[in-house]
Amino acid sequence: MQNLDENTNFGNILKSWEVPEFEAHKRTKIWYIVATASALLMLLFAIITANFLFAVIIIISAYIIILHDGKTPEMVTFSITDEGLIIGRKFHDYDDIKNFSVLFKPGQKLNNLYFEFSSQVKQRLSIPLINENPLQIREILLKYLSEDLDRVNEPLSEQLSKLLKL
């Protein structure tokens, strides 16, 4: 991954569209009550078991959720080039990407593009296709990357994130 500057050329743009930088969730008052009670119970458990690292992780997680709450996601440009992917001001070379998969299930409102990186340190990249043609995107990417045909459902981490509204 590289940061872009105005003079850098990362190939010809083959396809480009705007995506939100993160998924915003609508949280109800009940969600906040349950989340606060859960955090306090986990914090109490951490203190009782003298697991202070767990307590610090809970406090930092709560702080991040509070800090991030109510933010409106900015729209960033996602581009597929003949050299790699550009997301906002970041470039990912195809050499760093293991594979991709396209999930398109209109009945489930699932229309995402996933990229798995070769490095175990980098997390999976999920890009909403919004109104883009998934077949056209797939045809472009097949020229540069292998496709993960085994992925037929949304990753469990994303399902949990949506369920818990995180």
pLDDT at 99: 92
CB contact set of 74 (below 8 Å; sequence gap of 6+): 20, 21
Residue 164 included in any domain: no
CB atoms within 10 A of CB 159: 11
Instruction: Decide if 54 is inside a domain.
Output: yes
Domain with 148 in it: what CATH number?
Answer: 2.30.29
On whether residue 92 sits in a domain, the answer given is yes
Please indicate, yes or no, if residue 73 is contained in any of the structural domains.
no
Is the domain of 95 the same as that of 144? yes
Residue 113 located in a structural domain: yes
Specify the residue for token string 């458990």: 45
Longest dimension (CA), the chain: 58
Report d(CA 38, CA 82) in Å as an integer. 47
DSSP label at 155? Answer: -
What pLDDT is recorded for position 155?
78
| Structural domain for 114, as ranges | 2-20+78-159
116-125 residue pLDDT tens: 998 888 888 8
CA gap 40, 42 in Å, rounded: 5
Q: Domain tally for the chain? A: 2
Q: Which residues of the chain have pLDDT under 70?
A: 1-9, 107-108, 166
In the prediction, which pLDDT does 53 show? 96
Alpha-carbon gap, residue 79 to 55, rounded angstroms = 40
| Residue 166 is assigned to a structural domain of this protein | no
The predicted pLDDT at position 85 comes to 92
Q: Is residue 47 part of a domain?
A: yes
